[in-house]
């Protein structure tokens, strides 16, 4: 895992954040140091699989470097659970390339990778859909239809796991949790320069919703059973059961 030094040099011009080849090379370190309780969300996901997954295709939307796909495949093999094809979707070819290498190294072959936007994704019947820290990067106007497509593809009783960064409705508390999050990043070894430059690069690229807004979108998509599974400051994991 290559160390994330993407923003550690002063930039004269900060471009909008992209999941390009340079980011793909350091992404595993970046996400593990930038997303609170990243590993715990995976543990939560695997526990959910034991409870609600009854076979069928598994979609990982925004699969990035394939960490989640690998963990899911190895867990199901260990538990000797029947499963369908694991489909990873990402609109970054650089991420897909790294993902394929990781799956190859783990000798996981019954997977399919698609390089496409989620607005274009055609779903087949699914037993589980995962979307970790991806919806927040999609144009807000496209999100409701994507969520409806996910709901329609799921088998009855199956789950949708959605992890996102969030906004808080109270502006003062939103500012406080933002600063607490930057404290977290400082503890993970990021400098003030790295924090400020990445923040600027993500402006107008990462557009989170409040939990109230996100839960409303999930209900509008069709999910009757939906709630927050986990929350830490301005990061939340939701579950929707069809």
pLDDT of 145-180, one tens digit each?
999 999 999 999 999 999 999 999 999 999 999 999
Mean pLDDT of 206-217: 98
pTM of the model: 0.96
What pLDDT shows up at residue 237?
98
How far is it, in rounded angstroms, from Cα 196 to Cα 30? Answer: 15
Q: What's the chain look like in SS3?
A: CCCCCCCCCCCCCCCCCCCCHHHHHHHHHHHHHHCCCHHHHHHHHHHHHHHHCCCCEEEEECCCCCHHHHHHHHHHHHCCCCCCCEEEEECCHHHHHHHHHHHHHCCCCCEEEEECCCCCCCCCCEEEEEEECCHHHCCHHHHHHHHHHHHHHEEEEEEEEEEEEECCCCHHHHHHHHHHHHHHHHHCCCCHHHHHHHHHHHCCCCCCECHHHHHHHHHHHCCCEEEEEEEECCEEEEEEEC
How far is it, in rounded angstroms, from Cα 22 to Cα 94? Answer: 9
pLDDT tier for residue 230 given thresholds of 50, 70 and 90: very high
What are the domain boundaries of the chain? Answer: 1-242
The answer to whether residue 84 scores a pLDDT higher than 90 is no
What pLDDT shows up at residue 122?
96
What pLDDT shows up at residue 60?
98
What pLDDT shows up at residue 6?
96
pLDDT tier for residue 1 given thresholds of 50, 70 and 90: confident
Q: Domain 1-242: give its CATH superfamily.
A: Vaccinia Virus protein VP39 (3.40.50.150)
Q: How many residues does the chain have?
A: 242
Reported as a single tens digit per residue, the pLDDT across 45-82 is 999 999 999 999 999 999 999 999 999 999 998 887 77
The answer to whether residue 143 scores a pLDDT higher than 80 is yes
Lowest mean pLDDT among 76-80, 194-198, 213-217: 76-80
What pLDDT shows up at residue 152?
98
What pLDDT shows up at residue 79?
80
Give the other-Cβ count within 10 Å of 39's Cβ.
11
What pLDDT shows up at residue 175?
97
Contact 130, 88 (CB under 8 A): no
How far does Cα 100 stand from its chain's mean position? Answer: 18
């Amino acid at each position: 895992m290559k160390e994330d030094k993407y923003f550690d040099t002063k930039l004269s011009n900060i471009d909008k954040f992209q999941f390009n080849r340079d980011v793909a090379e350091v992404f595993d370190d970046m996400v593990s140091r930038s997303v609170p309780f990243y590993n715990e969300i995976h543990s939560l996901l695997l526990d959910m699989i034991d409870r609600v997954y009854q076979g069928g295709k598994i979609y990982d939307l925004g699969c990035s470097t394939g960490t989640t796909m690998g963990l899911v495949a190895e867990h199901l093999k260990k538990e000797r659970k029947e499963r369908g094809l694991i489909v990873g979707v990402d609109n970054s070819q650089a991420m897909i390339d790294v993902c394929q290498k990781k799956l190859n190294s783990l000798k996981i072959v019954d997977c399919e990778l698609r390089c496409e936007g989620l607005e274009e994704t055609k779903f087949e019947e699914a037993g589980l859909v995962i979307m970790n820290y991806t919806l927040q990067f999609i144009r807000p106007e496209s999100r409701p239809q994507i969520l409806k497509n996910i709901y329609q593809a799921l088998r009855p009783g199956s789950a949708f796991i959605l992890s996102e960064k969030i906004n808080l409705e109270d502006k003062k508390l939103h500012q406080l949790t933002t600063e607490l999050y930057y404290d977290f990043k400082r503890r993970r070894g990021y400098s003030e320069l790295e924090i400020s430059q990445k923040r600027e690069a993500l402006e107008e690229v990462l557009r989170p919703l409040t939990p109230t807004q996100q839960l409303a979108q999930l209900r509008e998509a069709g999910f009757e059973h939906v709630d927050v599974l986990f929350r830490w400051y301005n990061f939340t994991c939701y579950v929707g059961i069809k």
